[in-house]
Chains A and B, each alone.
Chain A
Amino acid sequence: MTRWAMVADLRRCVGCQTCTASCKQANATPPEVQWRRVLDMEVGEYPAVKRVFVPVGCMHCDEPPCMHVCPSTATKKRPDGIVTIDYELCIGCSYCAIACPYQARYKTDRASFAYGKATVQETQAFNPKRLAVATKCTFCVDRIDAGLAKGLTPGIDPEATPACVNSCISQTLSFGDLEDPHSNVSQLLAENQTFRMHEELGTGPGFYYIWDKKQGDASA
């Protein structure tokens, strides 16, 4: 079995939004729709304050709340952990957007473009099926599937890897198969202390955050 997952190393992220931009371009999302983005957060009070950058998006949960509330069965979870939306089935009720504790879902009712009228590039990329339905990060599932079909390894071979990971200039983001103990992400989880966002909700996010090496790690 395969379980695709994302790992973000918070020691490395600089909040540059290169992942945000590359996602927008690769997935042709309209203005203000950011399937991947990076939060700029502060913790503490002056002068004892820390600033931290946290990449967020769909967590591709083991138990996706969005899927459970979906009345049309548009949202599904694949065996490899990727949570999908079937635009043909989605009725745009937005239950999923309310249910998602990660604010990862978007719904755009009308076509919108960067400068009002669609440019030639936006016209070409425009997908009317995305109007009035829920959308979100897909882990660039098309790239994964096409890459696998060519014998490539997602997370290793760029052609089979989510755009945000390919673009990341600080090597914050890694993508791979959690079920493979030798995968890049499995290695990262084995070597580092991690958490998952809102883990207490029992959603089982497929998105892990590294915040330090494991104590006693010989390589530390």
Chain B
Amino acid sequence: MNAPEPAAAALAAYGKRATYCYQCVAGPDLLTVKVVDGVATEVEPNFAACGVHPGGGKVCVKAYGLVQKTYNPNRVLTPMRRTNPNKGRNEDPGFVPISWAEALDTIAAKLRSVREAGLLDASGYPKVAANFGGGGTPQSYMGTFPAFLAAWGPVDMGFGSGQGVKCTHSEHLYGEFWHRAFPVCPDTPMCNYVISCGANSEASGGVVGVWRHANARERGMKRVQIEPHLSITGACSAEWVPIKPKTDPAFLYALIHVMLHESARERLDLPFLKQHTNSPYLVGANGFFLRDAATKKPLLWDLNCNAAVTYDTPDCDPALEGAFACDAVEIGPDEAVLAQGRLEGSPSFAKLVEHVRPYSPEWAAEICDVPAATMRRIANEYLDHAQVGATIEIEGKTLPYRPVSVSLGKTVNNGWGGFECVWARTLLAVLVGALEVPGGTLGTTVRLNRPLSERHESVKPGPDGFMHYPMNPTDREHWSARPNIRNAYRTMVPLAANGPWSQALGPTHFSWMFQKETPKGLPTVTLPEVWFVYRTNPAISFWDTKGVSATMARFPFVVAMAYTRDETNHMADILLPDATDLESLQLIRIGGSKYIEQFWEHEGYALRQPVVAAQGEARDFPDIATELARRTGLLEQYNAAINRGAGGVRLKGASWYFSLDPKVAHGRDEIWDAVCKAASAELSDGKEVHDLAWWKENGLATKPFPHADWYLFPTLAAQGLRFEVPYQERLYRIGKELGNRLHEHDMQWWNEQLAEYQTLPKWKDFPGLWEKSLLKMGGTTKDFPFWLLTSRSMQYSWGNNVGIQMIREVADNISGHRGVIINTGTAEKLGIAEGDPVEIATPLNNVSARAVVRQGIRPDTLLLIGQFSHWATPFAKDFGVPSMNSLVPMSMELTDATGSGADVVRVSLKRSGVGK
């Protein structure tokens, strides 16, 4: 098999075809495309899906760009080979068209030579690396390529292009630890009061987020938006609180202070705190739980019998406050017995109360530049709306009802301060019993715990009455001193776990950063010998884009699936034109509970299908993957991976068998026909089997997903498990153990990060960390007085659509897409008028922009929406709009303990002569 499927002949010249758009992580959106005389003309919502899709079956603006995306004359439409051996921004790659046969032969020959010499290099890192952009969305387009990678063996997927360090990273790791919440979301359909610290749900929540929040606003839900600039979401909120950047932990701590020191205890959900959290666990003098000497179970103080009992003692009434002496043992890191005998301890709740005592609204007001009265009012509004004690019946189950939530946005919940914000957010829910219950704060899927995407099944008993969590080990025997990939997530970040998503959840900038110099204790970080790139452009989307570009220019062999030329594939050796959204075929899972607002009352599958013939010589991914597998001698392993489910569904089930013959190269339609049959069998417990033709006609199929499954609390309660909040004994322990391991290997460069492992996180001068970084770059806060931030562009984000003219045209209607947003008063002081050319600079770099003068931004803050600054992508390279990524350095001191950073940098601003 060497030619793509003859799709064109089979396609109807007229009509509407059902398909999906998954260009961003808030998808998929289900749509139809009208075809006239064989040409795609119009995208519409798939109105047949409005009954199952929680956003009324509507379609995001990005999907309307798909028609133009298909016919974009700037597409790469033949395989191309680089003729200039020199790589770099200023080097013309000299791409020349080649045949598919030559392209595949070249790649396969390279792969075979790598394989023959061994899959790992001298440092132990995979010689093959791959980047697929963030959020897992490329997997909904790359068909069976995951099966090829599975057949290949070790692949380094930890080179960051945004994922890991520019995502909502703290939320992902801690959220999943505390409540199986890789993404966190208010129960928007039932919530009445939301405190949103920078969460830009109207721009990043997708169709469902927009739909649900509009409904919520109309029914009276109040949302208070706390952020330095007035975002799209701020515009749609009842109130905007312009907070100083990176001070959100202080704001949230002040709310907790009000609830714990200025409000009656009875306003809290005391039964929830006692029975479903670690609030009553006794804490000893060394900060660890007091434990029963025989069973090693944590102790609490039972007010019924005035004695210490183990946490799992039935019918006890645990104390939340006070100090108690009891026979116990206190065990520290590495099983060290720190104290034993008659020990005194206090419930962790009491520790919490003392911990937040200094964090009054008056204290926070100085830090956040938010009036104390505002914080006090918001805390009380939150309590007023919490309805502690209320219940609601859902699908016959009586559940707590707490219609209050706190949501956090990017830059708030990643990088330094992210841990504190996520902890405070989770605590605010816990204090009123609003975690994982109707109306409250929910996780929507799991990516680090197994089984993937199955939140409830991932809940298993772990130590001390909490859920199990698959930490990367920190004990001496099992700690991984030799990382499996270059970003060293297994070695440095216990919370990143070690599943399929973990590589992307590590400190993904390390893979770039350590190319210059590997810190002591890690094997020398090397260049990958082969790098696959698809639907990602790290030369634009990562930090220090100049440095990243220079590094990837050193990669010896780069294969880029190319839609158009861009800044990353500028360094490629081979370009492969893949069939785009309206030209290709794939079945994916939809519904259930997944990214942020995407929790549905249905689940099932949807098909993306060719609406029109692929342009030029573009090929669908399975045709590429199958050929690579065949030419590298991996066909059997590849087919076996597809049979195991690498195409999205296991082909063999309890009563069905659609597995492919592993020895044969199968065509695209043959593969998806088997997947379609297996999916329909799975959906119907084997009762119905629908082939590819049926799915092409119908587009999707679903079955009900229980509303009650949106909430994890009942699953924990049924297993007698508690939320591991507020006290972080386990994190403190693993942090100490990790420190021991690193220091045993004389690795001292992670010490600042180790301090983040705390039982109750303290406020630190988080903005000061960026100011210190500025000093290190050679600047002063006086000379670089502005905080430069970024914000989500719904029209562009994730979409790989920056070269689409219509998207640019409509996005430009939204303020900020043409330049840098500056506060009106600030602009006046600096003599800057709307549209003026300005220069934004750090001590190391500068960019030019046009001034966009607005009232809705703090005077000390600048905003650059999206990620532009293209210099190779056709059409986009003429925008003249910069990106903050050019200005943000990668640095160890701005990396937090989870391996993340944040999109923040101190800059100067002045009017310039650009564009005269």
**A contact residues vs B (CB 8 Å cutoff):** 9, 11-12, 14-18, 20-22, 24-26, 28, 31-32, 34, 37-40, 42, 44-47, 49-53, 114-115, 117, 119-122, 124-125, 158, 163, 166-172
Contacts and interface: CB of A to CB of B under 8 A. Distances in A.
Contacts of B236: 14
A130 B249 CA distance: 57
Contacts of B73: 115, 117, 119
A98 B44 CA distance: 34
Interface residues of B, number: 62
Contacts of A16: 60-61, 202, 210, 794-795
A66 B566 CA distance: 46
A44 B855 contact: yes
Given A51-B235, A167-B64, A168-B58, A158 B813 contact: no
A80 B58 CA distance: 28
Contacts of B217: 11-12
Contacts of B72: 115, 119
Contact of A20 (B44, B70, B810): B810
A115 B58 contact: no
Interface in B57-73: 58-61, 64-65, 67-68, 70-73
Interface in B847-864: 854-859
Nearest to A49: B855
A121 B41 contact: yes
Interface string B42-82: 11110100000001101111001101101111100000000
A12 B218 contact: yes
5 contacts: A25-B43, A114-B806, A158-B44, A169-B211, A171-B56
Contact of B232 (A14, A21, A122, A158): A14
Contacts of B858: 46
Contacts of A20: 61, 810, 813
A115 B70 CA distance: 13
A169 B60 contact: yes
Contacts of B65: 21
A148 B815 CA distance: 39
Interface in B434-482: none
A40 B44 contact: no
A45 B40 contact: no
Contact of B44 (A28, A42, A166): A166
Contact of B74 (A28, A115, A168): A115
A38 B813 contact: yes
A120 B217 CA distance: 43
What 7 pairs between A and B have smallest CB-CB spacing? Answer: A51-B235, A21-B64, A114-B805, A119-B71, A12-B214, A17-B810, A170-B214
A181 B59 CA distance: 30
A115 B875 contact: yes
Given A20-B61, A46-B823, A120-B39, 5 more contacts: A14-B203, A21-B806, A34-B813, A40-B814, A170-B211
Contacts of A24: 64, 806, 809-810
A171 B211 contact: yes
B592 interface: no
Contacts of A121: 39-41, 67-68, 70-71
Contact of A31 (B214, B234, B809, B857): B809
A32 B64 contact: no
Contacts of B70: 121
Given A32-B809, A40-B813, A169-B55, A25 B42 contact: yes
Contacts of B44: 22, 158, 163, 166-167
A16 B64 CA distance: 12
A122 B71 CA distance: 9
Nearest to B206: A169
A11 B809 contact: no
B126 interface: no
Interface of B: 36-37, 39-45, 47, 55-56, 58-61, 64-65, 67-68, 70-74, 202-203, 207, 210-211, 214-215, 217-218, 230, 232, 234-236, 240, 242, 794-795, 805-807, 809-811, 813-815, 823-825, 854-859, 875
Contacts of B823: 46
Contacts of A158: 44-45, 47
B58 A124 contact: no
Contacts of A171: 56, 211, 214-215
Contacts of B825: 46
Nearest to A47: B242
A26 B42 contact: yes
B814 A172 contact: no
A167 B56 contact: no
A140 B152 CA distance: 53
B854 A125 contact: no
A17 B824 contact: no
A82 B794 CA distance: 33
Contacts of B857: 46
Nearest to A18: B61
B811 A17 contact: yes
B61 A21 contact: yes
A50 B235 contact: yes
Nearest to B29: A169
Contacts of A17: 61, 795, 810-811, 813-814
A212 B216 CA distance: 14
B810 A167 contact: no
Contacts of A169: 55-56, 58-60, 207, 210-211
Contact of B805 (A31, A120, A166): A31
Nearest to B875: A115
A22 to B, nearest CB: 6
A167 B39 contact: no
A37 B61 CA distance: 12
A9 B218 contact: yes
Contacts of B235: 14-15, 50-53
A115 B61 CA distance: 20
Contacts of A52: 235
Contact of B856 (A18, A38, A49, A166): A49
Nearest to A172: B214
A210 B235 CA distance: 16
Contacts of B74: 115
B812 to A, nearest CB: 9
A28 B42 CA distance: 9
A161 to B, nearest CB: 10
B242 to A, nearest CB: 5
B346 to A, nearest CB: 42
A46 B859 contact: yes
A138 to B, nearest CB: 16
Nearest to A45: B855
B43 A22 contact: yes
A16 B811 CA distance: 8
A64 B235 CA distance: 32
B451 to A, nearest CB: 32
A193 B477 CA distance: 69
Given A17-B810, A21-B806, A170-B211, A42 B41 contact: no
B81 to A, nearest CB: 25
B218 A51 contact: no
Nearest to A220: B220
B804 to A, nearest CB: 8
Contacts of B810: 17, 20-21, 24, 34, 37
A52 B236 CA distance: 8
A43 to B, nearest CB: 9
A20 B618 CA distance: 30
Given A51-B235, A121-B40, A46 B64 contact: no
B77 to A, nearest CB: 13
Nearest to A39: B813
A51 B235 CA distance: 5
A114 B68 contact: yes
Contacts of A163: 44
Contact of A51 (B58, B203, B856): B856
Contacts of B809: 24, 31-32, 34
Nearest to B64: A21
Contacts of B794: 16
